[in-house]
Structure formats: structure tokens, C-alpha cells
Chains A and B, each alone.
Chain A
């Protein structure tokens, strides 16, 4: 009898344990668990643009897939929004806070969303990409540029965005939401400005048929 009772208790515990794990798995899939591993609690001020990578949000759903797949622009805007709002705005926060600027098919109104998170901190202009102008903005205005590379390039076989934070002799410092790119294309790192990409690579990849969003 004792053994029978013991058996029943063990089986019941095992069943409870398994069903709990089902619920846990389901909730993660449904709502998306952010695997972002930075300390989001104690950071209240960014002296420079914070780094976010698409790969860290492979469980957050966006536009028929995950942020890791479809969140290139979204993650760029999260970095910018976090910087200007001075607190972390992760993809799920951005989707919730700026939903009115995100269309049903996942397009983000960059100008509208930017004006919303910039408030009175700065302003945004949209211009056709011009390397000379971009350099002047980066050097003279300390501007931040969100560069759209609409066609396949060394940075992605699809569309991609880069955030340009500075420029120097033959290099452009960037924030790139595609972590794999840093391993392949960056050759230096600066705490303040970010990763260094070859200016020639960036310029040739951007081409003459693209847009830059300048945050002044």
C-alpha cells in the first residue's frame, strides 16, 4: 500500500511538472520573452547611443516573423528612441508605445515615430543620401544619421539600416543592429562612437538612390 501511494504521488508530481512546462512554453511563444541580456534596471542615462541587436529579440514577434528577422528598422529606432528618451525602449516597448506609426504590414513611419520620441530634444530631417552632406552633419552638427540601404549589399542580402555616429579618416562609426556584421565588417571599436566600418564600404553600399534621416 505504501509503495502504491508513493507511486501515485510521484506520477501526480511528474504530470503537474510537465503541464506547468507546457504553460511556460506557450506563454513564451505567445507573448515573446526578451532575451536581452543587458542590465535594463540600473541604466537611466545614455551618454551615447545604446547598442541593441536583432538577434537578441528572436522571441519577439513583429511583422509576420520575429524581430531577429524583420526588425532591422525597428531595432535602429529603438536605439535612437532609447537615446533621446534616456531610458531603454526595447522592441516590444516601441511596438506598444508607437503603434500609431506602425502600419498593419509592418511599415514604420520613421518621421512620425521619430518626432514622437524626439519631443523637444532634437529634430529630424529627411534627405537624399549625399556623402559630403552626411560628413558635414556628422562633423559639424554632431548629428546622428539613420542611413537606409534599400538594396542588397555586403551588410544584408535584403534591406538594411545603419546608424552613422561619426566619421574619420577612411572610416565611419556605426551602430548596426545586425550583430553578424560587426564580426565581418568592423575593424575597430570606440566606446563612444561604436564600431568602425570602412567609409568606402558604407558609401558604395548606400549608393546614390537612398535616403538619410538626420537627427540634429
Chain B
């Protein structure tokens, strides 16, 4: 076979391969999520499970809201609590912490116990060594909070 023919076959093969590679690349782009938002990130809880993080936000959403992440850890203690305590603790804690200039933190119950008509609890704040010590008096519906800074009162 002449050298020019060999070169021609080689050239065609290369072009064909490039076209096929390009086709598959386009197909992948079309079927995967386009990166259209700066807020869209892929979460990777487990390798291979890359989901788009939903970023649905409503007009009155407070993105700096401090929220509790481990309520269920106190399932037993919470089972006897008045539901008004459960329904309002998140809002009350957040309001107290916003005044103390904490924004967008995750809150974790360290302890929660009932003594008479009082529910006493201790809550740690993510990215901070400060701790909230609080109580709720369910007869009067009164809340009390105290911030323990860096382990000091």
C-alpha cells in the first residue's frame, strides 16, 4: 500500500474517533445538570450520589436563621414535653442568638431535662465554643436564656 493511502486511512480514522468522542461529550452535557446558578452545588454524601442542592427560597425566608439539628436525640425527654415548648423553642433560641449576633449557626442540644415545671437545656453553637443555657417554665410559658462565653459565665 502506498504511503499516501496509509496516511489517508490514518487521517480518516483520527477524524472519525474525534467525532465520536465529541458526540458522547455533547450527549453527556445535555443529560447532566448545567451549572446555571452560583448557588447550585453538588452535595456528596456518598461517593456516586451527587445531587443538586435545592436552593428554593421564599421572600420572607431568613437565611441567617439559627436552627436545631439534633432534636430527635432527645426523643425520650421530649416525649413528655408540652408541644408548645417544642413548637416555639426553635424560634425563641434563634431570636435570642440573633440579638447576640449569631447568624446561620447550627444548634445542638447537649442536654435536656425536666425538673418540676421547668425544662432545662444546654445548647452548643456550631463554629463557636459558646454555649446557651436555657429554661422553659411551662406553667407560665416563660423562657430564660444565658450565653456562656468560651465556657465562662
Contacts and interface: CB of A to CB of B under 8 A. Distances in A.
Contact of B36 (A18, A33, A65, A157): A65
Interface of B: 5, 8-9, 12, 15-16, 19-20, 22-23, 26-27, 29-34, 36-37, 39-40, 43, 45, 49, 51-63, 65, 67-69, 71-72, 74-75, 78-79, 83, 86-91, 94, 104
Per DSSP, are chain A's interface residues mostly helix, strand or loop, or mixed? Answer: helix
Nearest to B25: A21
A151 B62 CA distance: 6
A152 B56 contact: no
Given A24-B27, A151-B61, A205 B90 contact: yes
A170 to B, nearest CB: 6
Interface of A: 3-4, 6-7, 10-11, 14-15, 17-18, 21-22, 24-25, 28-29, 33, 35, 54-55, 58-59, 64-66, 68-73, 107, 129-132, 148, 150-154, 156-160, 170, 177-180, 183-184, 198, 200-201, 203-209
30 contacts: A10-B15, A11-B12, A14-B19, A17-B20, A25-B29, A25-B30, A29-B30, A35-B31, A69-B40, A69-B52, A69-B54, A151-B62, A151-B67, A152-B61, A152-B65, A152-B104, A159-B56, A170-B79, A178-B54, A180-B43, A183-B45, A200-B74, A200-B78, A200-B86, A203-B71, A203-B83, A204-B71, A205-B67, A206-B87, A208-B88
Contacts of B29: 25
Nearest to A20: B23
Q: When A and B form their complex, which 6 residue pairs have the shortest distance between CB atoms, in order from nearest? A: A72-B56, A25-B30, A151-B65, A198-B72, A14-B19, A68-B52
Contact of A150 (B15, B33, B61): B61
A204 B78 CA distance: 11
Contacts of A178: 54
Contacts of A15: 19
Contacts of A151: 61-62, 65, 67, 94
